[in-house]
Structure 1
Amino acid sequence: MLVKSENVNSSAATDGRALVARDPVGPEVPRAFTPSDEAELRRLQDRHGIVTRLEGNAVRRRALLLRDQHRFVQKYGVASINAYAESLGFKHLAATLVLHLGAQLLLNINMQEAAEGERDALQHEVSQLARALATLAARKGEHDHLNDDAFVDWYRAQGRISGLAKNYLEANRAAKADGKKADSVPTKTPDEQVAEMFDNPAALEIDAVAGIASGQEGVLIFRHEGDKLRLIPLTANKATIIGLAGYAPCPLTAAPADLRFYRAMLLAGAAFVPDETSDIPIEDVPEGDVANDSYDMLPAYGMYLVERGRFSIAHARRDDGLILEIIPSVDLGYSMKGECFIDNFTRRRLNGRLVGEADAALFGLNPVEGVAAPVTIAGQTKTVTFTSKADGKPVNLIIKPRQMGTVWTYRVSPAFAPIASVIMSPETVAAFDGSFMKVLLRQQKDRAVTITVGSKGISFANGKAAAAPFDADAQGDAKVQVMLDDLRRAMVGLLPLPMTDGLTWQLDPNGLLLIEAATEVATYRVFVQTLEPNREQPTRSRALRERVQSLPKSDAPAAAAA
């Protein structure tokens, strides 16, 4: 039994020093741990392991996300990213941060539309990312060659994202003494810019022309005159030549149609169904805890089904989201019947080689019988082989039977039966893009959008706001509601397409809205979930989404014997 002691060190009080707090309890008597004590200790040990692991995983995820954001900026360039962000309504609001607009786009935070009470916090988040990205760009020689594990260690050593942002500020202060900006984009020399123009795979080569010295650059204008081509050389310096760069043809202008289709499919898949995470934790959640952002979640990447004569793309492990169908308008050299898919590894590898225009064009310089990629078929498996003229290295697109393990996804149910449709002309699409699309881009809060089709055309109402009508050729009458975020993602992906006509809208109030567009190489069909009627909170309908799981593995020897 422990006895309370009242003894106090009186000398400390008498010499004027402050009393030192002492435990009034006497010497503690050790006691043995009971089974319940040991169980409590084990729970604390387990919780420590879980928290430490989750904290470490959170740091790793943040580091690798930052690395991917940096690589995205390096891949597409600040000018292209800024131009795209501005086309979506983002504004550059930080003159001293070159990457501020790109950071807003990557975070999907439009500072111009931020509420007054949230502006400071959002500005901090955007500026911190812009500064960290600037530091990564300035010091890429330190980390570009590192693998993921080594990069995470490097990221920790720099003080994580806040440390990288601080490094930018310090570097910027030091650079101001030399009149430079820490995040300024390195300017290429005129010689480098002109050389890049002549590397365009769409360039034409003709025999040497008398009067033009070998190795000389200049500008020519031409006119066809019967079987002759009249050329007129113009005096032009490098600055003039560089100023005309915007008139150069797309590197893929003369590329085979199959190459242009596959590249368009990959770009559309990333736009409509980007790789994200699900809400399913990788690890079991301890009893009494709930899954939150500190948990590692299973990926919800795009699943590419190849069946029913089309490519069908939707998220893995996610019950809601857009479904994209792409129907090729060109002959790909094989049938898309059966139940097949493109695995994620194959798709990512192909994506890395075909997304960039100049890189993709190199795969079309050696066409075989008019196609960039010959096909090899073995049973239901099709192997489409692209070979780059630059290095001669092939990359394969493999379409194989749908054996996806435990992964599941969705496709459109055959029960989809629209009762109303409307065709928007190109002029009406332009009017929609210039008016109601701006409403979708401005809104920060997700809410219901009402779409109505009737004899006078189609109209859109954002929340309780007045409807915006558009004249169009309509059949049937119907009204549906969809979530603003879903409609915005669908339209942001569709409107930039090089459409050969307008947009077609089809409404099935039982669960889906279809928006369709066509280009020279494909037809794009985007399915948006409608909202269930008479619900207190907006609820996406899943009635017309068909769940797709892996096919059972067949017994090869038994199948062969049969």
Structure 2
Amino acid sequence: MRVTPNSLSNSVSSSLAIFVASGPEVPKPFSPADEADLTKLQHRNSVATRLEGNAVSRRARLLRDQSRFIAKHGIVSIDAYARQKGFKYEATSLAYHVSAQLLLDMNVADASEAEKEAIQNEVSLLARALDEVAARKSEHEHLSDEEFVSWYKAQGRISGLSAKYRDRKRNAKAKASAAGTDHNIAAQTDAQKVDAIFDNPAAVEIDTLPGIPTGGEGLFMYRQEGGKVRLIPLASTPAKMAELAGYAPCPLANMPADLRFYRELLMTGAAIVPDEMSDVPIEEVPDGDVANDSYDMLPAYAMYLVERNRFSIAHARRDDGLLLEVVPSIDLGYSMNGECFIDNLTRRRLAERLLGEADAAQFGLAPMDGCAGLLNIAGQTKTLTFTNKADGKAVNLIVKPRRMGAIWTYRVDPTLAPVASASMSVEAVTAFDDAFMKVLIKKQKDRPVAVTIGRGRISFANDKAAASPFDAEVQGSAKVQVMLHDLRRALVGLLGLSRQGGLTWRADPNGLLLIEAATDVATYRVFIQTLEPNRDQPTRSRTLRERVESLSQPEEPATVAEAA
């Protein structure tokens, strides 16, 4: 198009008209109705902000209480309880996955396909957050609830803690890879998993069957028909076989016995005698006042005594509680005579490295003379050094003379004299687990439970309910009462063991009920306080508990001046 002066003039005039029409908007005054609408929006914002703040505070405090609940009861006991309640699905990469399902009361295994993804996401989010809170305990343990809420917000709330967990795991894996190692030995191909399953020492070998080629792999359906087993071969992929098998055998199956013993000792000790708080206040209580929840209490950590050829585990600073004795059935390479103990810092460091299966297996890959721990003895102090083959880092187990400062603990009094015993077979324990344990797990209120031994059986009566009898090999007779929560914690710890045989019960009416179980590396004995008779309120007996205090410090050698 040819531009002429007239057309240019018309164009400019048109643009100017448009500019004038869309010029600055003239302010209009607010009417009373407009001001009322604004006031409503401001009020709604204030309410929403306040509610959001309260919600964040409640969520932070809930997470803290959830974390403390797990620390109080121990993840081993909580997971065992959860499985008793039907929580079966487990994400092996998340240590707190089963516990998170229980705390949320969301069972992934029972979820419909439409709900499963959303539930799994919520459970995994909490599991990662709980792991991160536990890993950074030193940052917030000393904080008040209000300060913890601020800490929680600074981390980015629960989603931020979950993200920090991912970063921590990713960085740890990157460091391992940079060092040319990867200690996550569970990362295997499906074919490798199947090989590991077939290498399981528990595998059963039978003669070859017609129609199955040498080296062939697959699955069988079977049915027991009288004295025969009918088998149907099924073609399958390695992925399907690994999936149906559930998991490869434990990496520790062929590990040195000393490594398996110490790992089992730590896990069972944490389940039966977890670290808790005492009822001894940190500060002196003024005259006329009574220590209550407003006072900060001293810790009641589990104390591990090493003496009398056994490990004795009980709470510090607590007059009541379970006592656990662990008698090794393997040669540990050193004498357990004397008066020694394992301090809490040593125990926690060892537990951090040995409780995870994949991590623990790395400590047993280079045994010396068949043992994972390298022993060094200096006087009465024994030091066992376990070295991780993946990263070359070592962790020590130190058994040293029992100098514990002002802390006291308990062990079983040697005057214990059971008058009756009941040995339950594996089948009887299975029946007991299926029947009475389910009742025990469901009960929330702590009530007396009567345990009666005699006439070829052992029976249990919860409060005023009818007794539940179970077959046993019995010697003598006795009837004692214990508290339900004590009995439940003891049994959850013992039934979680890879036991050889059943359970043995022994009763001394003077104060203790003993439950004993054995594995291939140790015998475990849990002692529960019986209740004193003829009391208006249940009262635990303390007659067969021997108080243990610190050894005195050795005297310093006299100086030349003092000698003169």
Shorter-chain-normalised TM-score: which range? 0.5 to 0.7
Q: 1:388 to 1:507 in 2, by over 3 A?
A: same
Asked whether 1:272 is paired with 2:269, we answer no
Q: Tell me by how many angstroms 1:87 deviates.
A: 2.0
Give the corresponding residue for 2:381: 381
Residue 325 of structure 2: SS of its match in structure 1? strand
Per-residue CA deviation, residues 200-222 of structure 1 (Å, 9 max, x unaligned), is 49x9xxxxxxxxxx999796679
Per-residue CA deviation, residues 28-77 of structure 1 (Å, 9 max, x unaligned), is xxxxxxxxxxxxxxxxxxxxxxxxxxxxxxx99998766677999xx98x
Per-residue CA deviation, residues 286-342 of structure 1 (Å, 9 max, x unaligned), is 444432222211000100000000000000000000000000011100010000000
Cα distance in structure 2, aligned partners of 1:248 and 1:332? 29
Contact preservation (8 Å) 1:135, 1:164: no
Residue 263 of structure 1: SS of its match in structure 2? helix
Which protein is bigger by CA-based radius of gyration? 2
Contact preservation (8 Å) 2:273, 2:322: yes
Give the corresponding residue for 2:360: 360
Residue 321 of structure 2: SS of its match in structure 1? coil
**AA partner of residue 464 (structure 2):** K
Give the corresponding residue for 1:447: 447
Asked whether 1:231 is paired with 2:215, we answer yes
**AA partner of residue 366 (structure 1):** A
Cα distance in structure 2, aligned partners of 1:140 and 1:487? 29
Cα distance in structure 2, aligned partners of 1:416 and 1:481? 17
Cα distance in structure 2, aligned partners of 1:293 and 1:509? 34
Q: 1:544 to 1:159 in 2, by over 3 A?
A: closer
Q: 1:236 to 1:158 in 2, by over 3 A?
A: farther
- 1:474-493 equivalences under 5 Å are 474-493=474-493
**TM-score between the two structures when normalised by the length of structure 2:** 0.67
Q: 1:133 to 1:292 in 2, by over 3 A?
A: farther
Contact preservation (8 Å) 1:85, 1:101: no
Cα distance in structure 1, aligned partners of 2:134 and 2:268? 28
Give the corresponding residue for 1:41: none
Q: Tell me by how many angstroms 1:102 deviates.
A: 3.0
Give the corresponding residue for 1:420: 420
Q: 1:151 to 1:446 in 2, by over 3 A?
A: closer
Cα distance in structure 2, aligned partners of 1:297 and 1:105? 28
Cα distance in structure 1, aligned partners of 2:106 and 2:480? 28
Instruction: Name the Cα RMSD after superposition.
Output: 4.6
Between the two proteins, the alignment pairs up a number of residues equal to: 439
**AA partner of residue 84 (structure 2):** L
Q: Tell me by how many angstroms 1:344 deviates.
A: 0.7
Q: 1:427 to 1:164 in 2, by over 3 A?
A: farther
Q: Tell me by how many angstroms 1:391 deviates.
A: 0.9
Contact preservation (8 Å) 2:61, 2:145: no
Q: 1:165 to 1:529 in 2, by over 3 A?
A: farther
Asked whether 1:526 is paired with 2:510, we answer no
Per-residue CA deviation, residues 496-527 of structure 1 (Å, 9 max, x unaligned), is 21111111100000000000000000000000
Cα distance in structure 2, aligned partners of 1:233 and 1:462? 51
Asked whether 1:252 is paired with 2:252, we answer yes
Cα distance in structure 2, aligned partners of 1:461 and 1:329? 34
Cα distance in structure 1, aligned partners of 2:514 and 2:191? 54
**TM-score between the two structures when normalised by the length of structure 1:** 0.67
Q: 1:89 aligns with which of 85, 105, 120?
A: 85
Cα distance in structure 2, aligned partners of 1:439 and 1:250? 31
Contact preservation (8 Å) 1:132, 1:161: no
Contact preservation (8 Å) 1:70, 1:133: no
Q: 1:341 to 1:444 in 2, by over 3 A?
A: same
Give the corresponding residue for 2:319: 319
**AA partner of residue 88 (structure 1):** Q
Give the corresponding residue for 1:53: none
- 1:421-436 equivalences under 5 Å are 421-436=421-436
Q: 2:185 aligns with which of 194, 199, 203?
A: 199
Contact preservation (8 Å) 1:135, 1:165: no
Cα distance in structure 2, aligned partners of 1:451 and 1:140? 39
Q: 1:547 to 1:105 in 2, by over 3 A?
A: farther
Q: Tell me by how many angstroms 1:456 deviates.
A: 2.4
Residue 264 of structure 2: SS of its match in structure 1? helix
Cα distance in structure 2, aligned partners of 1:153 and 1:326? 36
Structure 2 unmatched ranges of 5 or more:
1-58, 89-95, 108-120, 174-180, 200-204, 219-234, 559-564
Q: 1:395 to 1:133 in 2, by over 3 A?
A: same
Residue 435 of structure 1: SS of its match in structure 2? helix
Per-residue CA deviation, residues 469-514 of structure 1 (Å, 9 max, x unaligned), is 1111100011101001100111111112111111110000000000
**AA partner of residue 317 (structure 1):** R
Q: 1:386 to 1:154 in 2, by over 3 A?
A: same
Asked whether 1:102 is paired with 2:88, we answer no
Per-residue CA deviation, residues 326-374 of structure 1 (Å, 9 max, x unaligned), is 0001110001000000011111111111011111110000000000002
Q: Tell me by how many angstroms 1:88 deviates.
A: 2.4
Contact preservation (8 Å) 1:513, 1:529: yes
Contact preservation (8 Å) 1:131, 1:164: no
Cα distance in structure 2, aligned partners of 1:85 and 1:555? 49
- 1:499-538 equivalences under 5 Å are 499-538=499-538
Give the corresponding residue for 1:177: none
Give the corresponding residue for 1:541: 541
Cα distance in structure 1, aligned partners of 2:192 and 2:468? 53
Structure 1 unmatched ranges of 5 or more:
1-58, 93-98, 112-129, 172-180, 204-213
Q: 1:387 to 1:106 in 2, by over 3 A?
A: farther
Residue 546 of structure 2: SS of its match in structure 1? strand
Give the corresponding residue for 1:351: 351
